[in-house]
């Protein structure tokens, strides 16, 4: 299990985390640490069963893109926990909303066949949050 609960600039980088993703079963990250990672470089996290994202800003295009890229690398994810962060500027919300609403945008391609628990705290029901949940449910047969 690896837990990084606060933003630690450049500590949780892709090159450091990538070799360990194959063995980690539970990963907890702060949303503000996502911009310091390049999730597209991650190896498949075959053993990752629980993913927690603290202070994930649904209105921040970069955090949302990184979160979706990370989910792409977790084919055996069983549980997703998100504690949402609400303080976002209008420009970021509009960009994030376009990302989720664009049919050619970055969506999770593979089904999350094992995902059976999604817990989102501080959910306010914004357009972006609803689109994200709808996308998750469409990729989760359970």
Q: Where are the domains of the chain?
A: 2-138
**Pairwise pLDDT comparison (45 vs 5), residue with the higher score:** 45
The pTM for the full model equals: 0.78
pLDDT at position 51 is 92
Q: CB within 8 A of 46, min separation 6: which ones? A: 22, 75, 76
State pLDDT tens for residues 98-140: 666 665 455 566 778 898 898 988 877 777 777 778 878 887 7
pLDDT digits (tens, 9 = 90+) for 60-102: 778 888 888 888 888 899 999 998 886 655 555 566 666 666 6
> Which pLDDT belongs to residue 26?
92
């Amino acid at each position: 299990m690896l837990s990084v609960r606060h933003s630690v600039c450049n500590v949780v980088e892709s090159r450091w985390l990538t070799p360990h993703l194959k063995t980690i079963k539970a990963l907890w990250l702060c949303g503000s640490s996502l911009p310091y990672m390049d999730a597209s470089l991650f190896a498949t996290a075959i053993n990752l069963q629980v993913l927690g994202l603290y202070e994930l800003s649904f209105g921040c295009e970069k955090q949302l893109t990184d979160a979706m890229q990370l989910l792409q690398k977790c084919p055996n994810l069983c549980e997703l926990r998100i504690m949402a962060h609400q303080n976002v500027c209008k420009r970021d919300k509009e960009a994030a909303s376009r990302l989720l609403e664009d049919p050619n945008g970055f969506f999770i391609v593979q089904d999350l066949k094992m995902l059976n628990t999604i817990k989102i705290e501080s959910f306010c029901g914004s357009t972006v949050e609803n689109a994200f949940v709808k996308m998750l449910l469409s990729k989760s047969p359970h």
